[in-house]
């Protein structure tokens, strides 16, 4: 059976996934909620007219999961639940069932779409899907060796995703198998994305031999990768249990206390503080109300902590030429960090003005790396066939 390339970044805010020959991509909020098999829906006759992404309702069978044979609402559907679960502050991505639930859900969605056009075989509503997967973990977890256990959970087993009350795919099952799994450290992946194209050819020669820092601010953690001689300096790289999630929870709680408004999840807070129009405003009993004071105070304090980490790492790597801020958290803190930097002597720092590029940076990097691995594997197979003739 042919294998399909998948590059998946299970971010703390959302999953970003790229498949095949850049022919498909998925964005799914990283929120799950335990559920029952027959979830009630309104307008069942219209179910198959809806977008599957809006109604992801699945049962999972996998030896990799701590809680097996469990039913979940995933993504947008979970955000509307009474019991949504986001990754806990202080947790390790490699050890959480939620990471795998999101990973399997994204792969299964792609698999059923591909089965409909003949890429994967279907037998009695069961899709047999093989993937060559590129994904990643925070630098801190890779340094602790957790990538090895994470990879072994995925390889050598069959992971089944059963679509329950899901638009278009109700009753379908997907058996997921992995021909290969590569787990990359997130800081190194960001560097690859900065300097190389999809063929791993150098596109940014100005950066290739510079000593640079990459500060990746996520929901639950921050990694600062030190790049020297075209690779991550493992001894100098640092990971911190400091992301934007705690600040988002604090904003959510203060809005509840001060204005009596219940926001369902951290994702709702992100939308309020990043939307193009009416940023930092909410509706309170039908009236447009500013929450600038709450947001500025809490995010300002977080920016100071992030800037302190940058300063400490830079001092220990004094020949650094530039620091790039990447990740979803850097978008939230960008203006605060710029203001702080300008108020001091200031370091040479940069952000990605293209928001999509910053959010999708890890997924793009994993794609470049895993697609290159797959190309080399295919070339080696052809050589073996040729030599055996």
Q: Quick one: pLDDT at residue 340?
A: 93
State the residue range of the domain holding 76. 4-184+364-386
- pLDDT surpasses 70 at 259: yes
Distance CA 59, CA 160 (A): 8
In a domain, 80, yes or no: yes
In a domain, 28, yes or no: yes
Residue 151, domain CATH: 3.30.420.40
Q: Quick one: pLDDT at residue 225?
A: 86
Give the mean model confidence (pLDDT) for residues 324-352: 88
Burial of 35 (0-12, 13-18, 19+ CB in 10 A): buried
Q: Quick one: pLDDT at residue 186?
A: 78
Cross-strand partners of 127: 122, 174
In a domain, 233, yes or no: no
Distance CA 333, CA 324 (A): 13
Give the distance, in angstroms, between the CA of residue 222 and the centroid of all CA atoms in the same chain.
Answer: 14
Which residues, at least 6 apart from 209, have a Cβ–Cβ distance to it below 8 Å? 229, 230
Count of domains for the chain: 1
- Give the Cβ contact number of residue 281 at 10 Å: 15
Q: Quick one: pLDDT at residue 162?
A: 97
How confident is residue 279, by pLDDT bands cut at 50, 70 and 90? confident
Three-class DSSP category at 38: coil
Q: Quick one: pLDDT at residue 278?
A: 83
Cross-strand partners of 224: 215, 238
Three-class DSSP category at 353: coil
Give the mean model confidence (pLDDT) for residues 114-129: 91
How confident is residue 43, by pLDDT bands cut at 50, 70 and 90? low
In a domain, 48, yes or no: yes
In a domain, 150, yes or no: yes
- pLDDT surpasses 60 at 42: no
In a domain, 88, yes or no: yes
Angle between helices 292-316 and 266-274 (to 10 degrees): 90
- Give the Cβ contact number of residue 104 at 10 Å: 24
In a domain, 346, yes or no: no
Q: What is the pLDDT of residues 186-238, one digit of tens each?
A: 777 777 877 888 777 887 777 777 889 989 888 888 888 888 877 778 778 78
Mean pLDDT, the chain, whole residue set: 88
Q: Quick one: pLDDT at residue 75?
A: 93
* pTM given for the model: 0.86
- Give the Cβ contact number of residue 255 at 10 Å: 22
In a domain, 342, yes or no: no
Angle between helices 266-274 and 245-259 (to 10 degrees): 90
List helix spans (H) across the chain.
76-79, 97-115, 139-143, 146-154, 186-195, 205-208, 245-259, 266-274, 292-316, 328-343, 355-359, 361-388
């Amino acid at each position: 059976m042919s294998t399909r390339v998948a590059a998946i970044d299970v971010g703390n805010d959302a999953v970003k996934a790229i498949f095949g020959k850049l022919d498909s991509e998925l964005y799914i909020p990283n929120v799950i909620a335990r559920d029952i098999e027959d979830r009630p829906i309104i307008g069942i006759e219209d179910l198959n007219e809806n977008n599957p992404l809006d109604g992801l309702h699945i049962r999972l069978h996998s030896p990799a999961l701590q809680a097996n044979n469990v039913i979940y609402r995933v993504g947008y559907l979970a955000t509307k639940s009474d019991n949504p679960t986001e990754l806990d502050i202080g947790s390790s991505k490699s050890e959480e069932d939620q990471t795998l639930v999101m990973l399997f859900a994204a792969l299964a969605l792609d698999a059923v779409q591909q089965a409909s056009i003949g890429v994967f075989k279907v037998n009695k509503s069961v899709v047999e899907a093989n993937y060559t997967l590129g994904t990643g973990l925070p630098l801190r977890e890779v340094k602790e060796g957790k990538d090895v256990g994470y990879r072994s959970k995925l390889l050598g087993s069959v992971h089944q995703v059963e679509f329950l009350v899901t638009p278009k795919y109700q009753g379908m099952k997907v058996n997921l198998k992995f021909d290969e799994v590569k787990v990359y450290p997130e800081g190194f992946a960001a560097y690859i994305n900065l300097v190389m194209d999809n063929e791993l050819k150098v596109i940014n020669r100005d950066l290739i031999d510079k000593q640079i820092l990459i500060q990746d601010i996520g929901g639950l953690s921050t990694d600062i990768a030190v790049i020297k001689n075209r690779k991550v300096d493992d001894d100098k790289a640092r990971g911190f249990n400091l992301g934007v999630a705690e600040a988002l929870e604090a904003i959510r709680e203060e809005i509840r206390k001060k204005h009596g408004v219940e926001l369902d999840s951290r994702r709702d807070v992100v939308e309020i503080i990043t939307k193009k129009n009416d940023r930092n405003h909410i509706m309170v009993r039908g009236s447009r109300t500013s929450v600038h004071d709450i947001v500025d105070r809490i995010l300002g304090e977080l920016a100071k902590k992030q800037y302190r980490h940058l300063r400490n790492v830079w001092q220990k790597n004094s020949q650094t030429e530039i620091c790039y801020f990447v990740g979803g958290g850097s978008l939230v803190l960008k203006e605060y960090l710029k203001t702080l930097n300008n108020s001091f002597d200031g370091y040479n720092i940069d952000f990605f003005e293209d928001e999509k590029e910053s959010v999708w940076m890890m997924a793009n990097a994993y794609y470049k790396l895993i697609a290159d691995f797959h190309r080399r594997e295919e070339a080696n197979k052809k050589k073996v066939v040729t030599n055996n003739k």
